[in-house]
């Protein structure tokens, strides 16, 4: 399924190397929360570009609508009213969605070959036609992003608009963001831009401003500029995200160990038979019984 301009670098449930000769640029989306006004234009752009027609739900007492990510909501503005210091109210608004980890837990967990791919530019994409609907990616994701559709039992999430990026366009959310809070480019450029933003924020009194590009998942291709990088929990972000050790065991050591064990038992049986022969009823007893 690789698009000509998007080489695949990793593919779910595949043990052999992917084409790796062409060197492509790592891309990244940078979300500057200090510039975000929570207008949800990105949310609508995402729905429109991807032809998603969600449910008109209910207001359950918040600006956050829908309440959570779902199969037709691949990105969602999450609203947090916090007081990092007494009497200093802040309304932090974070655009939630797939982080496009360099070390993606979803891809590691996926049992269906080619249902999840990582392009060489870093985008982690779901190919629903290969998806079997097991939901292992949900189990593997450190950020709670993929959502299993009740409609077709496939899993959906942000594609970082791989279809747009493959033809040289920015993702729809980036295109639509009115304040420039979302930018897109090479990962190095985005890190450079983030540094400028962090400098600006520090100068405005946010001593702990910083970039969220968690190393535990090898870095991400969606990064945040946070006013309070020392407290990612304020934004509903995990402090040190990594693929869960349980998932590592499940998808790591268990697999070769299991094959080896099963093979061992199989071969042991075979060689036992060959070396020891069948355990037949002794002639003596057979004779006894015939005579009885």
Residues 20-39 that bind other proteins (CB under 8 A): 34-39
Determine phi and psi for 73, rounding to 5 degrees: -125, 95
Q: Show the site string, 82-111: x = touches other proteins by CB under 8 A, - = not.
A: -x-----xxxxx-----------------x
Q: Show the site string, 212-251: x = touches other proteins by CB under 8 A, - = not.
A: --------------------------------x-xx-xx-
**Residues 141, 97: contact at Cβ < 8 Å?**
no
- What is the token pair recorded at 48? 């429109």
Sign, Cα dihedral of 4, 5, 11, 14: positive
Report the distance separating Cα 139 and Cα 134, nearest Å.
10
Least spacing, CB of residue 31 vs other proteins, in Å: 13
Least spacing, CB of residue 121 vs other proteins, in Å: 24
Full DSSP string of 200-260: HHHHTT-TT-EEE--GGGT-BSEEEEETTTT-GGGGT--SS----HHHHIIIIIHHHHHHH
197 lies in the binding site for other proteins (CB under 8 A):
yes
1 lies in the binding site for other proteins (CB under 8 A):
no
Which residue of 50, 139, 186, 231 would you call a contact of other proteins, by CB under 8 A?
139
Only one of the segments 19-27, 55-63, 218-226, 231-239 lies at the binding site for other proteins (rule: CB under 8 A); that segment is 55-63
Only one of the segments 18-26, 96-104, 116-124, 268-276 lies at the binding site for other proteins (rule: CB under 8 A); that segment is 268-276
Least spacing, CB of residue 171 vs other proteins, in Å: 17
> For residue 56, is the peptide bond before it cis, meaning its omega torsion is within 30 degrees of 0?
no
Is 80 in a helix, a strand, or coil? Answer: strand
10 lies in the binding site for other proteins (CB under 8 A):
no
């Amino acid at each position: 399924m690789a698009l000509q301009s998007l080489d695949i670098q990793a593919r779910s449930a595949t043990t052999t190397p992917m084409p790796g000769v062409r060197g492509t640029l790592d891309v990244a989306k940078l979300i500057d929360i200090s510039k975000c006004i929570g207008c949800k234009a990105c949310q609508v752009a995402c729905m429109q570009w991807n032809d998603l027609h969600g449910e008109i739900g209910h207001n359950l007492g918040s600006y956050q609508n829908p309440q959570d990510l779902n199969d037709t909501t691949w990105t969602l503005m999450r609203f947090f009213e916090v007081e990092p210091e007494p009497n200093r109210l802040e309304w932090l608004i974070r655009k939630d969605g797939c982080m496009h980890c360099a070390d993606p837990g979803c891809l590691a967990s996926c049992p269906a070959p080619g249902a999840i791919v990582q392009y060489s530019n870093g985008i982690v994409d779901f190919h629903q036609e290969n998806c079997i609907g097991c939901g292992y990616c949900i189990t593997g994701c450190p950020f709670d992003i993929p959502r299993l559709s009740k409609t077709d039992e496939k899993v959906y999430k942000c594609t970082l608009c791989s279809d747009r990026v493959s033809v040289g366009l920015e993702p729809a959310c980036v295109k639509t963001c009115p304040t420039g809070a979302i930018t897109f480019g090479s990962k190095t450029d985005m890190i450079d831009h983030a540094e400028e933003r962090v400098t600006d924020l520090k100068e405005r009194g946010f001593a702990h401003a910083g970039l969220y590009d968690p190393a535990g998942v090898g870095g991400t291709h969606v990064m945040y500029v946070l006013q309070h990088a020392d407290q990612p929990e304020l934004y509903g972000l995990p402090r040190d995200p990594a693929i869960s050790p349980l998932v590592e065991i499940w998808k790591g050591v268990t697999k070769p160990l299991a094959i080896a064990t099963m093979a061992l038992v199989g071969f042991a049986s075979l060689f036992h038979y060959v070396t020891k022969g069948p355990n037949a009823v002794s002639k003596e007893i057979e004779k006894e019984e015939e005579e009885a």
